[in-house]
Amino acid sequence: MFVIFGAAGNVGRVSAAALRRAGREVRAVVRNGKQGDTLAAIGCEIAIADLLDPTSVARAIEGAYGVQILCPVPHANADPSTTMRRMIDVSADALRANPPHRLLALSDYGAEHPSGTGITTLFHYLETQLAPVGSQLTFLRAAEHMHNWARMLPVALARGVLPSLHHPLSKLFPTVAAHDVGLLAAELLLDDRPAKMSPRVVSLEGEARVSALDIARTLGELAHRQIAAHEVPRGEWAAMLQGAGLSENHARLITDLYDSHNAGRIDVETEVSERRFGATALVDVLASILARMAETATATGTATATAR
């Protein structure tokens, strides 16, 4: 039995589907029953768990051969750092008490740094807390997810301007499609070869690094309109993020992350990582996001730039 936490998410559902295609039993862990409907349709056992509840997490991993664990960033949370640490502690305690044969943690580029990287420091904490678990342990460190740009697309399409916290706009940075992360996670869970290092660290990014200018150009070509990348001044970051609904503490974690990004600290740790590269291109991810936006607009009868 393979247990996939966050199985309804962009990464988890791909991992669950890949494992099912391989003929493996999968327990998909979700927050509520509705999230499990599509996963149940492909033959997954559904478990409902709250990552802050030790009992439900312990129950979810019972009988597991392999576990894929993550620490989701809580939305609309006044203190996401404290909440994420509690989630990590609950999961780590359950896994130490009942270690599966194989354990894969979804982590982040830059997770080797104990401080100074904003929200990425929580992935360092995740790795640190899971290291004592008596399992064949793999940390899958992924670059920035291409799908994260989805939250900026409505603004870009409405105003013709794509805001960016990546400075300068021409700076190349690693990104990866969530689909590729999910596929590689499943592949690593199924890989029974003895690891050369413990824990095993695998990094993943797309075949080509991109800049904010590349993203704006690609989006413009897909939307058939002119879209310009805009370098948001550093002094405006906090207000912009809080205006988008983030708490003050959450906004600080994001600003610290992008300060670290722009200083070149968020990258692959080449000395210890096995490097992998995803096959999905940025243009394909942006096209799929635009298609979903258009479908939603059509279904709700809302006229948007993506429906043109």
Where does the pLDDT of residue 306 fall: very low under 50, low under 70, confident under 90, or very high at 90 and above?
very low
Which domains, from first to last, does the chain contain? 2-144+176-205+267-277 (3.40.50.720)
Q: pTM of the entire structure? A: 0.94
Cα–Cα–Cα angle for 158, 161, 167, rounded to 5 degrees: 145
Task: Fill in the amino acid letter for 96.
Answer: R
pLDDT digits (tens, 9 = 90+) for 153-187: 999 999 999 999 999 999 999 999 999 999 999 99
Mean pLDDT (whole number) for 135-159: 94
Confidence check: pLDDT of 308 > 50: no
Which residues, in sequence order, are bridge partners of residue 105?
69, 139
With tokens 């799908």, the residue in question is 147
Block residue for tokens 């992350």: 257
Q: Mind listing the pLDDT tens digit for each residue in 209-232?
A: 999 999 999 999 999 999 999 999
What is the percent of the chain with per-residue pLDDT over 70, rounded to a whole number?
A: 97
Query: What does the pLDDT read at residue 302?
Result: 54
> 68-101 pLDDT, tens per residue?
999 998 888 999 999 999 999 999 999 999 999 9
Side-chain-facing half-sphere of 155: CA atoms under 13 Å: 14
- CA count, 13 A, side-chain hemisphere, 80: 22
In single-letter form, the type of residue at position 72 comes to: P
Using alpha carbons, select from 33, 36, 49 the residue that is nearest to residue 7.
36
Mean pLDDT of 39-57: 96
- Asked whether the beta carbons of 215 and 152 are under 8 A apart, the reply is no
pLDDT over threshold 50, residue 105:
yes
